[in-house]
Amino acid sequence: MKLFESEAKEIFRDFNMPTPSSGLAKTPEEAKKRASEIGKPVVVKAQVLSGKRGKAGGIKFADTPEEVEKLAEEILAMRINDLPVEAVLVEEKLDIKQEIYAGVTIDRNRRQYVCIGSSSGGMSIEELAEESPEKIVKTHINPHLGLQPFEARQLAVRMGFKGKQIHKLASFFMKLWKIVEAYDVELTEINPLILTQQGEFIAADARLNIDNNALYRHQELIESLDRAPLEENERERRARENDMAYVELDGNIACICNGAGLTMATLDAVALYGGKASTFLDLGGGADAERVEKGIEVALMFDQVEAILVNIMGGITRCDEVAKGIVGAREDKGIDVPMVIRMVGTNEKEGQEILEKAGIPFLQTMEDAAQKVVELVEEAE
Amino acid sequence: MAVLIDKDTKVVVQGITGSQGTFHSEAMLEYGTNIVAGVTPGKGGQEINDVPVYDTVWEAKKEHGVTASVIFVPAPFAAGAAMEAIAADLNPVVVITEHVPVKDEIKVIHEAKRKDITVIGPNTPGIIQPGAKQKLGIMPGHVFKAGEVGLMSRSGTLTYEIAAGMTQADIGISTAIGLGGDPCVGLTPIEGVKLFENDTDTKAMVLVGEIGGDAEERAAAYIKDEVDLPVVAFIAGRTAPPGKRMGHAGAIISGGTGTAAGKIKAFEDAGVPVAEKPSDVAKLLRENL
């Protein structure tokens, strides 16, 4: 789950991390009011769950509350990377001496958390890693011991800081690590972390992504957010509630399969024969007839679907249950697009008998099925 | 010699009294797996499928000399169960459970490494040796034929798909390992390659990868420099859009890295042929064996 900057900063403040004074606004009038409360030049920042806001024009500076009102109106009307902007953060403009980068994420190769710092912030860490890798310093964290204060100080020294600033920056890294541990964070970034002319470090931005698998440990946080933890449409919500993985794509063939790898391979096979998938729908392990029926229903709710391909490799999933679900969906919902079925593995004979009885044809290999469904769509056009 | 398990492996099923644990321990026993004990804290003294259940792994080890564990414990407790198996020096520890928080996975993997124990998974179909009739996992045993090809994969059903294709082409499997679909897993492709390389029963390898991360690229580089056995690969997710999570938590292309094209290129550069469709794996093996 991604948190908005404003939400992440609330957590930062809970951990006594210095942040600029700021206020959230959902209307231009509110934004004006926040700016008057702050009483200084401010930044108006779009609150969207997407990177590269600045480049998209979602961050603007203003000197007066009237200016803030006008800018907020513009930003609130924007879509950034196809996401609507529903709120802006009005925030005190800092007196910048240096922009740096601080973050903690997971190194999947080492299977460890890694703490990352750079004395040049402001740009994306991926770009920085490519252009000047020597400017990035890292330390991997022992998961049993956690980040040690000496490691945090070492990072600060390697980033080129001296004297009191070593302690101040190290304390930032220690706080970031505590937040990572407390909230099952898979990625947190402060970019930029500002060193002010007065010599203080202040988190001018905040990115915080929480591991979805660990959300059950953070009910209190979710309840405090005043929004659904995940951004999803009706179809995505129904798929999730029925334990399916569902991704919408720009084609017209709904691919309903079991297992993520097999579903991806099925999408690839459809493309290989010249078709385009509308839906990645992984029924998950051990789907029963009801879940299969729900899966077909969810796939069909997506308007652009012109054909359905069901590809099942039965392991935990039983083909007879799948067949019952397909027959049920056809009877209950009345499917008016062509459907191609491939189904082998556990209880395949029983499953195929059920399909035969209902007069539904099926194929033996996923490649034949992918080819067939593409042909059917082409014929219909 | 075999990879990680053999016919003498004595298996404990952690979470055996749960519905998944009960169902799959029965399927494993039918296949021939040498399950000698089960563990569910608080349910000691019961029997499931004629297998005695204990409260702790320690007791199961004391009574039956168990050597390996397969875990069907729900996600919030799965890492704790793995820690218990690691503390009892069981090896390998196979974690079938999906949706385990990554922080827990990291702790388990770190502890296992410290003790030189192999964790398979989490979010894995498990490990199977058709020749030894041992499977620690949930795969349909009948699609795996005994033979000389080592198979490893990040995806469950895709493993079955490819194994079934190999069986149809009359190519058998020495050991098949599901590496698991999460970003952080105990056994990586490169470590899997090393295991198969040292296995006298394995004469060729199949590596099934998918989008996300760079584990395949690393394995390809290692194969290029170090491996003499023939290797064939398949990569799922050629058509996956960037930024979308394709079912597996690990299957996401972010920031232009982890693409299928990049992985395919890495294998081809290493002299590893990459199958275009799952059924081509058997064909490529025939040509390269």
Listed range (A74-88, A288-302, B177-191) with the worst mean pLDDT: A74-88
Which residues, numbered 193 to 232 in chain A, qualify as contacts with chain B under a Cβ-Cβ cut-off of 8 Å? 211-214, 216-217
What is the Cα–Cα distance from B157 to A320, expressed in whole angstroms?
A: 17
For A98-116, how does the pLDDT look when each residue is reduced to its tens digit (9 = 90+)? Answer: 999 999 999 999 999 999 9
Query: Is the pLDDT assigned to residue A81 strictly greater than 90?
Result: no
B49 touches chain A (CB under 8 A): no
Confidence of residue A126 (pLDDT cuts 50, 70, 90): confident
Please answer yes or no on whether B155 and A261 come within 8 Å at the CB atom: yes
Contact state of B250 with A257 under an 8 Å Cβ cutoff: no
What does the pLDDT look like over B144-163, one tens digit per residue?
999 999 999 999 999 999 99
Per residue in A94-114, is it b (16+ CB within 10 Å) or e — as a string?
A: beeebbbbbbbbbbbeebbbe
Q: Which chain A residues are within 8 Å of B258, Cβ to Cβ?
A: none
Q: Is the ipTM of this complex over 0.90?
A: yes
B230-247 pLDDT per residue, tens: 999 999 999 999 888 898
- Is the Cβ of B10 closer than 8 Å to some Cβ of chain A? no
Q: Quick check: A261 contacting B, CB < 8 Å?
A: yes
What is the model's pLDDT at position A329?
93
The sheet carrying B93-95 orders its strands as B47-48, B51-54, B35-39, B11-14, B68-71, B93-95, B119-120
| Residue B264 confidence class, pLDDT cut points 50, 70, 90 | very high
The pLDDT-based confidence of A166 (bands split at 50, 70, 90) is very high
Q: Report the DSSP beta bridge partners of residue B231.
A: B205
Chain A partners within 8 Å of B178 (Cβ): none
Q: Which residues numbered 100-139 in A keep a CB inside 8 Å of some CB on B?
A: 106, 108-109, 111-113, 126
Show residues of chain A in contact with B247, CB under 8 Å: 245, 247, 259-261, 263-264, 280, 282
Query: Looking at CA atoms only, how far is residue B63 from chain A in angstroms?
Result: 31
- Assess contact for B212 and B179: CB atoms under 8 A: no
Nearest to B246 among A258, A271, A280 (CB): A280
Q: How far apart are CA A285 and CA A167, in angstroms?
A: 50
pLDDT > 90? residue B137? yes
Q: Is the pLDDT of residue B43 over 90?
A: yes
pLDDT of residue A123: 79
For residue B286, give Cα distances in angstroms to A379, B134, B276.
36, 26, 15
Q: What is the pTM of this model?
A: 0.94
Q: How far is A111 from chain B (nearest CA, A)?
A: 6
- Inform me whether the pLDDT recorded for A122 exceeds 90: no
Please give the single-letter amino acid code of residue B233: A
Judged against a pLDDT cut of 90, whether residue A228 lies above it is answered with no
Q: Across residues A157-177, what is the average pLDDT?
A: 97
Q: Do B140 and A346 touch (CB under 8 A)?
A: yes
Q: Which 190-229 residues of chain B touch chain A by CB within 8 A?
A: 208, 210-211, 213-215, 218
Looking at the partner chain, which of B160, B215, B234 has a beta carbon nearest the beta carbon of A315? B160
Q: How far apart are CA A90 and CA A42, in angstroms?
A: 6
Instruction: Indicate yes or no: CB of A264 within 8 angstroms of CB of B106.
Output: no
Confidence (pLDDT) at A368: 95
> Catalytic one among B24, B99, B110, B248?
B248
- A264 lies within 8 A of chain B by CB: yes
Q: Is B233 on the interface with A (CB under 8 A)?
A: no
Q: Which residues of A touch B143 (CB under 8 A)?
A: 345
User: Is-contact B162 B276, C-beta < 8 A?
Assistant: no
Q: Is the predicted pLDDT of residue A229 greater than 80, yes or no?
A: no
Over residues B5-20, the pLDDT tens digits come to 999 999 999 999 999 9
For residue B278, give the chain A residue with the closest CA. A265
Q: Do A260 and B103 touch (CB under 8 A)?
A: no
CB A262 within 8 A of CB A283: no
Of the partner residues A211, A247, A269, the one whose CB lies closest to the CB of residue B277: A269
More confident residue, A136 or A285: A136
Is the model more confident about B185 or about A132? B185
Token code pair at residue B88: 């009892």
**Whether the Cβ atoms of residue A125 and residue A197 lie closer than 8 Å to each other:** no
Q: Could you tell me if residue A155 is left (phi over 0), alpha (psi between -120 and 50 degrees) or otherwise beta?
A: alpha
Please name the residue of chain B whose CA is at the shortest distance from the CA of residue A109: B215
Look over chain B and give the mean of its residue pLDDT values, rounded to a whole number. 95
- Compute the nearest-CA separation of A334 from chain B (Å): 28
Query: Does position A231 have pLDDT exceeding 80, yes or no?
Result: no
How high does pLDDT run on average in chain A? Answer: 94
With an 8 Å Cβ cutoff, is A335 touching chain B? no
> Distance, in angstroms, between B43 CA and closest chain A CA?
25
